[in-house]
Amino acid sequence: MKQIEYFYNAMYYFFYRATIRFANFVTKPIFFIYSYIYKIPKIKKRFLNKGIDDPLEWHKQKYKNELLENPSLSYGTMIGHGLATSIIFFIYFGVYHIIRNLLFPTYGDEALYTFIIFGILAYVTDVIFTQIDDKDVKYIKEFNEKKGWWRIKWSIITIFTFLVSLWFVISTSDYGAIGQYLLSLSGNYTYPNNP
């Protein structure tokens, strides 16, 4: 169980870091515009009255520490948790497709209810692996200290895991190759493209 927790937190960490890098790339033009806005004498004087000598640097630090990189709650953690949870969701949904197509080939489910149920299950799994006892904060601090080959290896594993889980859920669906094969085993199923 500890290895699964480590694996999941490593994936979460790299989604968290990717979100931070993307947000920094997107906000560069915004801070470039702010650099000119903060040079306006009236605005600069307002910040000086509040005790802030360099408003642009203050704004960058506030953005970085509170909004983007705060390990407890920030945009990076929210999006990182969402992307890591999507992997769990895809795996759960793919297993459901296999069971449904193999054991209940004629069952027509309501997609919305299925999405909600597996979304809740994936979220609960994320909470168990990362949020109980602030494991995500501990792992972020631990992973921030690691450098070199470890980062390259786990970033590749994270991307690969996301793509494989997405392929798994698509291929096990009614229109995927695995799903169609499982449905054909029941004997009363015809492929969608055949008359």
pLDDT digit string, tens, across residues 81-121: 888 899 999 999 989 888 887 877 667 777 778 888 888 99
- Largest CA-CA distance found in the chain, in angstroms, rounded: 79
Q: Is residue 169 part of a domain?
A: yes
Determine the pLDDT at residue 47: 81
Q: Is residue 92 part of a domain?
A: yes
Could you tell me if 171 and 177 are in contact, meaning their C-beta atoms sit under 8 angstroms apart?
Answer: yes
The CA distances from residue 28 to 33, 44, 52, 60, 161, in Å, are 9, 21, 21, 10, 30
Q: Is residue 145 part of a domain?
A: yes
Per-residue pLDDT at 165 exceeds 90: yes
CA–CA–CA angle 17, 20, 22 (5° rounding): 110
pTM score = 0.78
pLDDT digit string, tens, across residues 28-83: 888 888 888 888 888 888 888 888 888 888 888 888 877 777 777 778 888 888 88
Q: Is residue 190 part of a domain?
A: no
Q: What average pLDDT score do residues 157-166 get?
A: 92
Q: Is residue 154 part of a domain?
A: yes
Q: Is residue 193 part of a domain?
A: no
Of the candidates 13, 56, 49, 65, the one whose C-alpha atom is nearest the C-alpha of residue 31 is 56
pLDDT digit string, tens, across residues 121-133: 999 988 888 888 8
Determine the pLDDT at residue 139: 84
Q: Is residue 194 part of a domain?
A: no
Determine the pLDDT at residue 187: 65
Q: Is residue 123 part of a domain?
A: yes
Determine the pLDDT at residue 190: 56
Determine the pLDDT at residue 194: 53
The tally of domains found in the chain comes to 1
* Residue 147 belongs to domain spanning: 2-184
| CA–CA separation, 130 and 11 (whole Å) | 11
